[in-house]
Structure 1
Amino acid sequence: MSVTPWISLTTDYGLADGFVAACHGVIARIAPAARVIDVTHLVPPADVRRGAAVLAQTVPYLPVGVHVAVVDPGVGTARRGVALTTPGGLLVGPDNGLLPDAAAALGGVSAAVELTEPRWLAGRVSGTFHGRDVFAPVAARLALGAPVGEAGPPIDPDGLVRLPSPTLTSDDDGFTAEVLTVDHFGNVQLAAPAELLDRLPATVRVGPSGPGPARSAVRGRTFGDAPAGGLVVYVDSADLVAVAVNGGRAVDLLQVVPGDVLRVSG
């Protein structure tokens, strides 16, 4: 890989401690010319699915580079650290399901290695801070153009850990889909592709998949297509079906969390 001076960071480290700064510092010491994009450090702690979704929905819009993601409740255990090669860049992080969706968004995994080469890591690797001691130094060396194959032995991409597929079923009257993410604005993103919404009428019903009241919603293009305080079901910027409240928070109105299942029907 040619020199790529772009590195992105996606973590659940938060902003109250020095964890993010330490990763920046390690990168700056090894590759001072690298430019670092902080995607987010506010992934809910240990929420691998949320981190995977944020990463996959963001990397297609970043410069080609090295994308580091660390949401790693298994840090220090037997789980592997990996680097994945894709047509759209490199991904570095734990092998816990965090990276494959992003790899697919960048064109698929063409090669993968396990990060075991001691010369690429910190002199002393902490049992609880692989972002600083494993993933940041590896990313910095890759950004300098070091061959990814020198970071460790090749592994079979088919053996990478993958998250379970989210719930999604459809029928003639609508579809049932898992809540994939909830964003800062309280908009509820469903694990449902845009085309499932196209065949529904202008007014739909949104509610729990089992017993429970459903709410009327407008099928719209943007938030303002619903009256103030009203629900709108739309296709979001990731081309997935989402539910919002015009001027409010759909997550509060619907009382859902990621992993819950919603029914959208005509």
Structure 2
Amino acid sequence: MPPFASIATDFGAAYTAICSGVVQRLAPTAKVLVLTDEITPYAIVEGALFLSQALPYLPEGVHMAVVDPGVGTARRPIAVRTERGDVLVGPDNGLLMPAAEALGGAQETHALENPAYQLEKPSTTFHGRDIFAPATAHLLNGADPADMGPKITPLPLNLPTPTRAREGTLTTTILYVDRYGSLILSARADDLDAQEFGTPLTVSWTSKDGTPTAIRATYERTFGSVPKGDPLLYTDSSGALALAINQGSAADHYDLTPGTDLTLRPPH
């Protein structure tokens, strides 16, 4: 079986294709999958959680991921070897760490400093092409991450945690907005204290203009459990709680963005 690589970025199709081309030129026998080029620009948390959900379903291999608002700064390019045997390549900004945990945990991490495994004269703004893609290709060809740079301790991804108050009230944070405008939250199904499907909940937050806002949404098994245009809370395929509108965008309808806290209250 040929060596396998995946690529996930916030670059869009054109710049991601260039990275894929570099990998395929330097590792011509490898199979290279562009997993996505549609991560929201600069959205490290969204990219990290996407990777943690996706990579366990992919073949073992080298997985390059780039969501890198700190490109060209002191942040380090890294390669992370996981317990499953995969190597994750990308920036040291927390992006890779949830996926490493999903693949059994990070075993060792090396900074990508050796110019022998980079393109000549790498740019300060396109490390995907000049550093990450060549490193991915060399790893596919059998290179050892230890030859690429010193062993380091990677930065974690610090995610907000939900908090409970009296009478089952749960406060949780919007982590990211998915393609359909659903709001993926930091809480999980277990945080709802085993609410039954069909349970109505009050969801409240402070709007951008400072106005307190509240809606009623039921906790449902799936989108079609409520009429088109109605809100619902559900558990997504990764186990996270989410707020959605059936066949609509909750993010647009309620003007909500990542980082906003929502408070869920059960019926009294």
What TM-score does the superposition give when structure 2 sets the normalisation length?
0.90
- Aligned twin of 2:190: 195
Give the number of equivalent residue pairs.
259
- Aligned twin of 1:170: 164
Q: Is the 8 A contact 1:4 1:144 kept in 2?
A: no
CA RMSD of aligned residues (A): 1.8
Partner secondary structure for residue 134 of structure 1? helix
Between stretches 50-59 and 215-224, larger displacement belongs to 50-59
- Aligned twin of 2:5: 7
Q: Provide, for residues 82-132 of structure 1, a one-character-per-residue CA deviation record: whole Å limited to 9, x for no partner.
A: 100102311101111211111111111111111111211112211111111
Question: Which residue identity lines up with residue 120 of structure 2 in the other structure?
Answer: G
* CA shift for structure 1 position 68: 0.6
- Aligned twin of 2:181: 186
Partner secondary structure for residue 110 of structure 1? strand
Q: Provide, for residues 183-205 of structure 1, a one-character-per-residue CA deviation record: whole Å limited to 9, x for no partner.
A: 11111110112211353351111
- Aligned twin of 2:89: 92
Give the fraction of aligned pairs with identical amino acids, expressed as a percent. 42
* CA shift for structure 1 position 4: 6.3
- Aligned twin of 2:105: 108
- Aligned twin of 1:50: 46
1: CA distance, partners of 2:173 / 2:146: 38
- Aligned twin of 2:212: 212
Question: Which residue identity lines up with residue 256 of structure 2 in the other structure?
Answer: V
Question: Is 1:27 aligned to 2:23, yes or no?
Answer: yes
- Aligned twin of 1:263: 263
- Aligned twin of 1:149: 146
2: CA distance, partners of 1:47 / 1:242: 18
- Aligned twin of 1:161: 155
Q: Is the 8 A contact 1:53 1:181 kept in 2?
A: no
In structure 1, runs of 5+ residues without a counterpart are: none
User: Displaced runs of 4+ in structure 1, greater than 4 A?
Assistant: none
- Aligned twin of 1:232: 232
2: CA distance, partners of 1:231 / 1:44: 23
Question: Which residue identity lines up with residue 14 of structure 1 in the other structure?
Answer: G
- Aligned twin of 2:223: 223
Q: Is the 8 A contact 1:52 1:97 kept in 2?
A: yes
Partner secondary structure for residue 25 of structure 2? helix
1: CA distance, partners of 2:2 / 2:150: 22
- Aligned twin of 1:250: 250
Q: Is the 8 A contact 2:233 2:242 kept in 1?
A: yes
2: CA distance, partners of 1:4 / 1:170: 49
What TM-score does the superposition give when structure 1 sets the normalisation length?
0.91
